[in-house]
Structure 1
Amino acid sequence: GWLLSPGHCANLMNPDFRELGAAYAMDPKSDAGIYWTAMFGTQQ
């Protein structure tokens, strides 16, 4: 899904980002069920 989203794909392919953290949370009572997040970083 992230590669099909222009904004998410741009972040994933950005050569300035050197670090990536990803996580998910599950909630079987929600419509989505699973939620994902990603953090991108680079050294200063």
Structure 2
Amino acid sequence: MNDIPPELLAEVLREVEEEREDPDKYSVPIEELFERLIAKGWRPDTPLD
């Protein structure tokens, strides 16, 4: 699995924080986190350069 770029992870967590009534961005289910990261272009199975 590829490392998640920190900037991309921060962006996704900011979005979650803005969308939720309870701004606990650290309580995001891992499945939702992966779905959001993949939607933004992250690929867990692509080899690193």
TM-score (norm 2): 0.26
Report the structure number with the largest CA radius of gyration. 1
Query: Which is strand-richer, 1 or 2?
Result: 1
Q: Which has the higher contact order (CA 8 A, sep 6+)?
A: 2
